[in-house]
Amino acid sequence: MSHVVLNGRAVAEAMLEQLREQVANLRGAGWAPRLCSISVGDVSAVQLYVRNQKRTAEKAEIQFEESSFPATIQQEQLLAIIHGMNADPRVTGIILQRPVPPHLSIKQLQAAIHPLKDVEGMHPASIGNIVYNELELGPCTAMASVELLKQTGLGLAGLEVVVVGHSEIVGKPIAFLLMAEGATVTVCHHMTRNLAVHSRRADALFVAVGRPGLISAEMVKPGAAVIDIGINQVMLPDGSARVVGDVDFESVAGIAGWITPVPGGVGPVTVAVLMRNAVIGATRQKKHYESLFGPGQVVG
Ligand code: NAP
């Protein structure tokens, strides 16, 4: 069966192109979006995320500022930094890079970010909005995964969807986003008795587990859309490293109707959604200020 590879880089470029005009309008109104990234400790994966985000922000003409703190920083100190950014009208979006060292509570830090500056869509208020079918701004990876499914042109109403993995940042929000669009959603996890029984029923299969090769061709319905969110580094026999998803791309591509590659699928769209959230956040703050002080108020 012939399949279509869903090209995340092209989808991301198109999204960024659309954002540039909105960013210019906001800048003209005195509300230039400005992202502040907080990272803690010296984690090479985080440095890679930050470099990627910074590069993508430049493409969207969004200001991006990095703040790095030592791994020994305490929860109270970080909370004070976040409160300072919440109070600063020139900061329109706050990104808390993951992971943070184990002595810090990521949940409490995320919840301390003002919901209007929550560009990652991870604040309990943002997650709650999705449950209430307000889908404009949500967790970036989940939003990106759904965006890629939309590229197939499949109608979401009544679509049989299976989501494998139910983490708070990926699997659960994907399920809520799709339920809001009218899909029939089954969520699988490590206690699911027979994963293949569920995955084979899916018109659209989302996989967010972190286990290379978890999904093979015999677990996929012919013609299905397969969205692979997993990111795994595997060692090849020659000793080199390679990044792969959770789906065995070579075998599944032979049966799927659409499939996302790793890398180059969900990843780039995730960063583009972060930039879109940054624009939505800045726009909401502008409206909020204008509702308090009247139109034409400029900050910074
Ligand atoms: P996570 O918090 O570790 O969650 C993994 C999920 O997989 C859990 O819900 C777990 O269920 C489930 N699971 C574990 N073993 C399973 C099995 N054998 N069968 C079915 N489900 C199983 O990970 P995450 O943060 O959601 O990330 C998942 C993957 O996506 C990782 O590879 C991560 O690197 C990648 N990711 C990619 C992006 C991107 O932008 N592309 C962003 C974020 C994450 P239980 O809780 O029941 O054990």
Query: What is the DSSP track for 269-287?
Result: HHHHHHHHHHHHHHHHHHH
Cis check: omega of the bond before 70, within 30 degrees of 0: no
> Does ligand 1 come within 6 angstroms of the Cβ of 59?
no
Instruction: Please give the Cα distance from 126 to 122 (Å, whole number).
Output: 6
For a substitution probing ligand 1, which of 96, 97, 100, 170 has the most ligand atoms within 8 Å of its CB? Answer: 170
pLDDT at 2: 80
Please work out whether the CB of residue 266 comes within 6 Å of at least one atom of ligand 1. yes
pLDDT digits (tens, 9 = 90+) for 245-254: 999 999 999 9
Residue 131, CA atoms < 13 Å, CB-side half-sphere? 9
Closest by CA position to 264, among listed 280, 279, 275, 249: 249
pTM across the whole model: 0.96
73 lines ligand 1 (CB under 6 A): no
Q: Could you tell me the distance, in angstroms and rounded to a whole number, from the CA of residue 256 to the centre of ligand 1? A: 22
Each residue's pLDDT tens digit, 51-83: 999 999 999 999 999 999 999 999 999 999 999
Q: Does the Cβ of 164 fall within 6 Å of ligand 1?
A: yes
Q: Is ligand 1 within 6 A of the CB of residue 162?
A: no
What is residue 35's predicted lDDT score, i.e. its pLDDT?
Answer: 98
User: What's the start-to-end Cα distance of the chain, in Å?
Assistant: 56
Task: Yes or no: say if 108 and 75 are a contact pair by the CB < 8 Å rule.
Answer: yes
Q: What is the pLDDT of residue 294?
A: 84
Q: What are the structural domains of the chain? A: 31-115 (3.40.50.10860), 138-267 (3.40.50.720)
